[in-house]
Structure 1
């Protein structure tokens, strides 16, 4: 093989996993062009997340608001399927990584995907406003289509445990504060509140914004696309998953299932019978 052919083959190999994210060779690590040693101790973990996902460093206030949203959704107790799974996995003697992976794997459309759905919903209203609709008209039209063609729970509203999700009002309050300071413009907060008000009018009762809707507001204000909202939720909830997996791993319990062993499931199958001889 000639030197030219070897060069072509090497270029093909180097381009196999071409990336804009990281440059690495012996003695050198650069993330998005920044040497890792220049980042360590100088930027926060939320700022690092922003850099990796967006390609540029945020300003301090943007990173602060991102960190606030990430902190808000870290845990919701062992009744949450992902947390329960992490704890059950830990009792089976697997390592922390396996317990975390088992839990994270259930963060899908139903459990963990509502933030992405909410931001997509709010984003459609924002696009309608860009085409000249008023906020109220855009929200009304989107909800008309939703109840006619889709139905179910409006993404970002309501909670099966909390009459008012205690995390949501605080997040919206902080978004308003950051908007007042010019960090964000407050548009998605306006949209979320318009959706909440419109649904209350239709239903005859208030169905408050929940954590998924509130974090969707934050991520929308900061310019994250909807699919990344789910990934950010996974990052956030992973903290709670890790904490519960670790706590459970320190206990002597083994093979702990979803119910106490004296509580058995309901059997609704065929009544007792014997095989024909």
Structure 2
């Protein structure tokens, strides 16, 4: 059977049904955005490949290092995180690793997993305020915080953590961004905005509301020009590593039909007291 790429006629409409700039493939040839796969293998890291596949160009090694730091820092947060717990429970139901991973990734939404995207959007709003009004970052942050609360409520995405008084991941990520800023790799605009938000929250609350992992990775995504919506997808890739690790570990440990609480404990029942069908009237 010959495989061809039609250039005209009705078959061209069929070939155009799925149009893509990402991959070109024919018998014996595979290329991504024009790069033959054999030239990428051994020369491009997985993180650089993620950038190429989502952005269309290869990043500089320095920018790839920042993206790599963002991806590796968010891989796991233990079985108390819903996605990880779901992966482990699914594994005890006899499903395969892919099923357990899919079940877990499907709960990464606005509440669990969406704060990074929300933080990027918030930083971008502050940046746009500063640019459009030619105001200082401090003024833009004050206005941006007010607008964020008006639109979305009191919680500011990327700041504070229900478990960690200080999220140990955020300061190290901010150090790396500061180094990249000093070396001229990134502009540092989002870095400055995030630090000013942290400062303003301290002024408002009288106590520190430290940046968390989502706030810090959002700085990296903002500095690298990654759209907010794509930031959530990248977080899903990152957390998939932890999901896979926990699903695999649970598979090795065994266990059947493990629920969210040990089986010798019962959930709280707030329903109607026991009643008799004879007295239903």
What TM bracket, shorter-length normalisation?
Answer: over 0.9
For residues 201 and 148 of structure 1, what CA distance do their matches in structure 2 show?
19
Indicate the residue corresponding to 1:244 in structure 2: 246
* Residues 1-277 of structure 1 mapped to structure 2, 5 A cutoff: 7-131=8-132, 132-276=134-278
Q: Under a length normalisation based on structure 2, what TM-score does the superposition of the two structures give?
A: 0.95
For residues 20 and 228 of structure 1, what CA distance do their matches in structure 2 show?
17
Extract unaligned runs of 5+ from structure 1.
none
For residues 147 and 231 of structure 1, what CA distance do their matches in structure 2 show?
25
C-alpha distance after superposition, 1:171-198 (max 9, x if no partner): 0011001111111111111101111111
Extract unaligned runs of 5+ from structure 2.
1-5
Structure 1 runs of 4+ off > 4 angstroms? none
Indicate the residue corresponding to 2:3 in structure 1: none
Q: Would you say how many aligned residue pairs link Structure 1 and Structure 2?
A: 273
For residues 14 and 247 of structure 2, what CA distance do their matches in structure 1 show?
40
For residues 204 and 271 of structure 1, what CA distance do their matches in structure 2 show?
48
Larger mean Cα displacement after TM superposition, 108-117 or 142-151: 142-151
SS in 1 for 2:278: coil
Instruction: Say whether the 8 Å CA contact 2:149–2:155 is kept in structure 1.
Output: no
SS in 2 for 1:276: helix
SS in 1 for 2:24: strand
C-alpha distance after superposition, 1:199-227 (max 9, x if no partner): 11111211000000000001111110100
* Aligned-residue RMSD, C-alpha: 1.4
Distance 1:149 1:20, change over 3 A: closer
How far 1:147 moved relative to its partner? 3.1
C-alpha distance after superposition, 1:45-92 (max 9, x if no partner): 111011111111111111111101101000000000000000000000
How far 1:150 moved relative to its partner? 3.0
SS in 2 for 1:76: coil
Q: Under a length normalisation based on structure 1, what TM-score does the superposition of the two structures give?
A: 0.96
How far 1:6 moved relative to its partner? 10
Instruction: Say whether the 8 Å CA contact 2:122–2:148 is kept in structure 1.
Output: no
For residues 204 and 275 of structure 2, what CA distance do their matches in structure 1 show?
53
Distance 1:128 1:259, change over 3 A: same
How far 1:146 moved relative to its partner? 2.7
For residues 117 and 171 of structure 1, what CA distance do their matches in structure 2 show?
18
For residues 66 and 273 of structure 1, what CA distance do their matches in structure 2 show?
60
SS in 2 for 1:23: strand
